[in-house]
Every structure is written in C-alpha cells, then in structure tokens.
Amino acid sequence: MTTTQPMRLNGRYRLDARIGAGGMGEVWRATDELLGRTVAVKTVLPALADDADFARRFLAEARAMAGVHHRGVVAIHDLYHGPEGAFLVMEFVDGEPLSQVLTRYGRLAAPPALHLVGQAADALHAVHGRGIVHRDVKPGNMLVRPDGTLLLTDFGIARRDGATALTATGAVIGTLSYLAPEQVLGNPATPRSDVYALGVVAYECLSGRRPFTAENPFAAAMMRLNQTPPPLGPDVPGPVAALVERALAVEPGDRWASAAAFGTAIAQVAAALRSNAAPASGPVAAEETVVQRRAPLAPTLVEPALAATGASSAEATVLTPRPNAAQPLAPGSAAPGGVTVPPGFRPRDGYYVPVEPMCWGGLVIPGGLGRTPRRIAPDEEHYWETFAAAELPEEAVYLRQEELLGHPAVAAVCTARVLAACSRDPARTNGWELEPWPVQLGRDRWVFHCLASPGTGEWLGSEFT
C-alpha cells in the first residue's frame, strides 16, 4: 500500500494518508465511505497475509481485541482477509504518540506523568481481563489526545491465553528497550511483563530517559537481568519513585500483582500529591480494584514571546511547577515582589492586558476537545482572543478545566466586567464565551490567559487592545 494514488479497500475504505509503518504493515488514515467517518486502517504485508497460519492468528487476535470495550483502548471496527490482502479497521484517534510528547517536553512533572501512566494501567487492566497480554507496551503505542486522555493501541504482537505463540520458543519479541527481564530470556510474557514495560514508560516520563542505556539495545536489555535502575532524580517525590521501582523489579513476583493494583496505587499517590498530603514513604499497598477515573489535563499554551526572545523550547514548555512560584498580581499594583510583567503584556488594575492582539486557533475542534493552539493574525479566521491574563497560583496548575474558573485568582479576572473593560466596544462583546487557559513561563511561573469568543465559530478582526 505504498502508492500515492487514492485507493479503496473492499470497496468501502478510502486510504487518505499513511500515518505509520512497521514490521507487519502500514497504518493509514482512511474514510469509511459507507458510514462517512474517519477511521484508521492497518494493512498487513502481503507476505504475511498469504501465510495461512498468520492469518488464523491475526483473525483470532482481532476478535479478542474487538471484545475489549474500554475508553482507554482503541476500538476495532472491522476486519478483512481476502483477495485484497488483510487489514484491520480501527477507531481513528486525533492525537499523537506519547513518544512525541516526550520528545517535545523532554520529561514530565509527577502529576501529568501519573495521569498518563495511570490511564495506561487502567487500559491494560481491561485488556488483561480478556486474557490478553499486550507484549509491546511503549510510548509509541500510546496515543494522547489533546485533552490529555490516553489510548492504548497496536496489539500486533499481543498474545491471548491459550493461543499459539507467534514465535518459536526462546525467541525475543517486542521492543527491546521495554522488555521485562523474563522476555529478554525468551520466556513467555505475562500481565506482570506488561506492568514492567509500563514501569519503564513511567521512568522515562519522569526522567526523560530510559532506565537502562548502553551502546546497543541488546546490551541495554541484558543489563536489566542483574541490575537495578538508577534512582530517579531528587525532584521526583519519594512515593512516586517507589511506585516505579516496584514496577521495575527483576522478579515478576516482586512487582505489582496486576495492572489494576499498579493503577490503584498510582491513583492514591496522585490524590495525595493534589491534596499536598504526605503519602506513606514506602511502597503503596494497593488493593485489586479497578483504577479510578482521572480528570483530563487542561492543555497549555506556549507563550509565543519566549520563542522571539531566544528561549529554548524546553524552557518554554517544561511542565514541572517549581517551589516559590510567582504569586498572583495584587489588584491595583503593577508588579509586586519583583514579579515581572509577562512578555507581550502590560499591567492594568491587578491583571495584564496584551500590548497587541493575541488571536488563537486550534483551541477547539468539533466535540469540544482542546488542541495545541497556534497564534493567528487578527485578519485571519480564529476562534479565541486573549483579553487579559494574570498569575496562576501553583495549587491551581493541575485543576480540571471546569474547576479552573472557580479558583479565586481566575474568577477575579475571567469575568464579563474585565471583558467589557478590555473591549474596544463592550456592546459587541457582551455575552461572549470566556475560557481560562494555563500558560507556563520558563520553569518557575504560570499565568493564565483569559480568552473570549463570540461562540458562533471562527471570526475575523480583534476586539481588544
């Protein structure tokens, strides 16, 4: 399926753009012309599709995955094996692999890392409940939507209990950097092998690197047979480090008993961090329960002025809030306590206003999900415009979007009164939709933009400054 010409599979699925490729085939963004929806189509290499034994296992595994109905697992829509080859039709996820998120940010603070890894544990719990072991858990097989929800995908080498092995006994299967020690030795993978791989993912999220590195992946894989991972940095809370250390135990029996137990422990530690409580210093004892639902992370804006001043992208997007972050700007003062006015703003009556229009696109897509924003010229169509900004206290950084408006610092600025005060014509902006969006400046400081939109779709021009 390498042609650039539009193709249709089974007279129904139009292949629009190739979005990935691997050892088994390709993944395409496609259109289901019968139902009029966007889907993902995973095609299988012809040599594999023609192999009767592979086709049998491919069908069995697709049927097994089709039986998993969970918000954190990519849904299976259709399967075909016939004269046109073999392909799988799946839910199309408008997001990006976690591997790309880590490439962009380098590393994550504990709260967002726990948020993402906890969702993956929840999804693995559902998969394991169907008797399936994923066997290739890694950031590249986790898709993150713009609203912070995560979906597990790519079960191409998954194994169902009682199924015939895809490889010969003693063969190593999976991505070497994330294999559990027992998989390195060629032994069968179990749910606890997936827990180990998820522990590697968690370590990478928190540190920006994998726990074992060497001159080649095979050497790194062998290191985990008799070595413990290097300790996580001092900025990683002790209870969080204990979660990961237990997941990375060499002996499967020393790890979390299941993805459910790992996920429940993650939820407990995350809740303690949010409440500023002091969790137990040792490993958390989690009961075998279904992982708790987690609130999605609010997408953040990257302050455009930072790029103009030469700040590195890592500095502009690091997610970790630091102690002694700047306090909210006091009403009636310009910049108390040495707090500098953010680039692109000037102080006014206890908050900041843009010195020139700040118009944004890509913040909303159909269905209400947030997207990575981009700055748009006022004479181009856009959805939101910043009318004010203010300092965001550290305790509000990880609030859910619906909770953010209720925080006193936000509620004092993102109001109809301030909107009218900033409008060129208050009558025109009367009744506009308001939305707060967190923005991190460097490593130590957060502000929030107060955005306004007429609520009627994209529009032209600027109503503020």
209 and 350 in a single domain? The answer is no
Asked if the structure places residue 311 within a domain, the reply is yes
| The last residue of a domain, from among 91, 113, 138 | 91
Residues 116 and 230 in one domain: yes
Asked whether residue 308 falls in the same domain as residue 426, the answer is: yes
My answer on whether 325 and 444 are in the same domain is yes
Same domain, residue pair 114 and 138: yes
Strand pairing partners for 76? Answer: 90
Contact 139, 97 (CB under 8 A): yes
CA–CA gap between residue 433 and residue 168 (Å, rounded):
60
Does residue 383 lie in a domain region? Answer: yes
Does one domain contain both 243 and 335?
no
Does a structural domain hold residue 291?
no
Q: Which residues have a Cβ under 8 Å from the Cβ of 349 and sit 6 or more positions away?
A: 331, 332, 421
**Structure tokens given for 216:** 């080649």
Do 133 and 156 belong to one domain? Answer: yes
Same domain? For 361 and 381 the reply is yes
Give the per-residue pLDDT at 450.
Answer: 94
CATH number at residue 230: 1.10.510.10
In a domain, 285, yes or no: no
Q: Find tokens 């693995």 and name the residue.
A: 124
Residue count of the chain: 465
CB contact set of 409 (below 8 Å; sequence gap of 6+): 328, 390, 391, 392, 393, 396, 448
CATH number for the domain spanning 16: value is 3.30.200.20
Owning domain of residue 347:
301-453
79 CA to centre of own chain: 28
**Do the bridges between strand 301-302 and strand 433-441 make them parallel or antiparallel, or are there none, so unpaired?**
parallel
- Which residues are paired to 345 by β-bridges? 354
Give this prediction's pTM: 0.58
**Residue 21: in which H helix or E strand, if any?**
strand 13-21
pLDDT at 175: 65
Query: Would you say 328 and 318 are in contact if contact means Cβ atoms under 8 Å apart?
Result: no
Query: What is the total count of domains within the chain?
Result: 3
Please list the active-site residues: 136
Does some domain include residue 73?
yes
Q: Are residues 105 and 189 in the same domain?
A: yes
Q: Is residue 32 part of a domain?
A: yes
217 found inside a domain: yes
**Final residue of a domain: which of 35, 58, 91?**
91
Which residues are CB-neighbours of 37 under 8 A, at least 6 positions away?
31, 92
Q: Determine the pLDDT at residue 258.
A: 95
Q: What is the structure's pLDDT at 405?
A: 79
**Do the beta carbons of residue 259 and residue 121 sit within 8 Å?**
yes
383 and 242 in a common domain: no
Is there a domain that residue 410 lies in? yes
132 shares a domain with 239 = yes
On whether the CB atoms of residues 141 and 177 are closer than 8 A, the answer is: no
**Which parts of the chain have pLDDT scores under 50?**
1-4, 157-158, 161-174, 278-337, 363-372
Residues 310 and 331 sit within 8 Å (Cβ to Cβ): no
pLDDT at position 173 is 43
pLDDT in tens, 123-137: 999 999 888 888 889
Instruction: Let me know: does 432 contact 455? Beta carbons within 8 Å.
Output: yes
CB 77 within 8 A of CB 54: no
Task: Give the pLDDT confidence of 21-62 residue by residue, as tens digits.
Answer: 766 778 889 999 999 999 999 888 777 777 777 777 677 667
Helix (H) or strand (E) holding 261: helix 259-274
CA distances from 201 to 117, 188, 224, 266 (A): 8, 21, 15, 14
The whole-angstrom separation of Cα 331 and Cα 219 is 59
Phi, psi of 137 (to 5 degrees): -75, 120
What is the rounded CA–CA span in Å between residue 248 and residue 359?
Answer: 46
Same domain, 137 and 211: yes
- Phi first, then psi: give them for residue 39, nearest 5 degrees: -135, 170
- State pLDDT tens for residues 295-313: 333 333 333 333 333 333 3
